[in-house]
Amino acid sequence: MAMDYRDIITIDPDRRFGKPCVRDTRIAVYDVLSWLAAGMTHQEIRDDFPQLTEADIRACLAYAAEREQTLRRAT
């Protein structure tokens, strides 16, 4: 069952040009996914960005998974 990321991932047109971000931070979902893709562990990300929680990182993954599924349906 997918995590409900909607309370964690926010889109504000005045923050990061409207990119989806973690809560009220300027950390974009893209940033978190890029760090994971580069091989950083969840712990390393949280060490570098202590304002992020494990739930925040998982919310980024859930957001990306749902977006991918939505894009696949559209094609």
Cβ-defined contacts of 61-69 (< 8 Å, 24+) = 61/3, 61/33, 61/36, 62/2, 62/3, 62/4, 62/5, 63/5, 63/9, 63/20, 63/29, 64/29, 64/33, 65/2, 66/2, 66/5
pLDDT digits (tens, 9 = 90+) for 32-66: 999 999 999 999 999 999 999 999 999 999 999 99
What ranges do the domains of the chain cover?
9-74
pLDDT digits (tens, 9 = 90+) for 9-23: 999 999 999 999 999
pLDDT of residue 69: 82
- pTM to 2 decimal places: 0.87
What is the domain class of 9-74 according to CATH?
mainly alpha
